[in-house]
Structure 1
């Protein structure tokens, strides 16, 4: 919690594509005390390299229609600047998508990033996400609207995915 407050409490830690203004840490600490940041409506997990926490991944509900029939998970990541460019975010996002497919009924996991955040776009593609398109003026940040690039991965696209109605992983006899 201290790392999250220290590293993600200002624009220097989160970087230009994730700074949405100052927020009180009270809510995050309260949620941690009440739920451990895990619940049916999403959660937050620490990203670690060796034994050091270097960031966090989050998931929260999304939908492309009525939530009871068109729900999916949306994911996000924040890494400390020293962890950028080393493949840590790619691995963390792949592991989070795998976790959500293994432990929820999700068919789709999605993420989006600023159109100028080329490093995150590459990380999502390396993590198995497919670029779907641009959401024009979709995010308010820094006093103006920003285009976002939408990515997703589907359950059947995971290595070893089990096709609907089959008991064997894809490609298995």
Structure 2
């Protein structure tokens, strides 16, 4: 997780400048990177840490709590089917242990691989969020996907 904060090319389109790499250690010492508000989990394949998934609580209008998830994999592990499975497993976990109806995820219009991964993980595209993110010196659109508790669960 430290590397994603300090190596510009590692995180891909989500890179938005250098972050506090020590913050990862402080957060781990404080709560193991697990809390009701936000958690980070390591994605591991055959004993190798290949990335991280995150979830955080969000609220619509003060009465509609939901979880927002994200994922980042090391470049050499992308395109192997790891990402969609990790996101589907995270959703299964959240629906089992959190009283939520909705999980959402955002991605970039140019990240076609993540769009396919989200659909494979059971998400549906909801639409475009215009000028949602400041990246690489300009405001850029984002795409919003969601999965509801009542949506079909993908076979993992």
Match of 1:41 among 33, 37, 41: 37
| 1:89/1:8 CA distance change after superposition, 3 Å | farther
- Between Structure 1 and Structure 2, whose CA radius of gyration is higher? 1
**What stretches of structure 2 of length at least 5 have no aligned partner?**
none
CA shift at 1:25, angstroms? 1.2
TM-score by length of 1: 0.85
Match of 1:18? Answer: 14
Secondary structure of the corresponding residue to residue 118 of structure 2: helix
- 1:149 is aligned, of 123, 130, 143, to 143
Give yes or no for contact 2:55–2:69 (8 Å, CA) kept in 1: yes
The equivalent residue for 1:134 is 128
Deviation at 1:8, TM superposition (A): 4.7
Aligned equivalent of 1:64: 60
Aligned twin of 1:122: 116
Report whether the alignment pairs 1:106 with 2:103. no
Deviations 1:11-43 (A, max 9, x none): 21101x110100111221111011000011120
Match of 1:167 in 2: none
Are 2:55 and 2:68, in contact at CA under 8 Å, matched by a contact in 1? Answer: yes
Query: Normalization by structure 2: what TM-score?
Result: 0.94
After superposition, give the CA deviation of every residue in 1:102-157 in whole Å (9 maximum; x if it has no partner). Answer: 01001000000011111100000000000000000001111111110100000011
Q: Secondary structure at the match of 1:149?
A: strand
Aligned residues: 154
Which blocks of at least 5 consecutive residues in structure 1 are unaligned?
A: 161-173
- CA-based RMSD of the aligned residues comes to 1.3
Contact 2:37/2:56, CA 8 A, preserved across alignment: yes
Q: Is the 8 A contact 1:45 1:58 kept in 2?
A: yes
User: Secondary structure of the equivalent of 2:103?
Assistant: strand
Mapped contact 1:10–1:21 kept (Cα < 8 A):
no
Q: Which residue of 1 aligns with 2:2?
A: 5
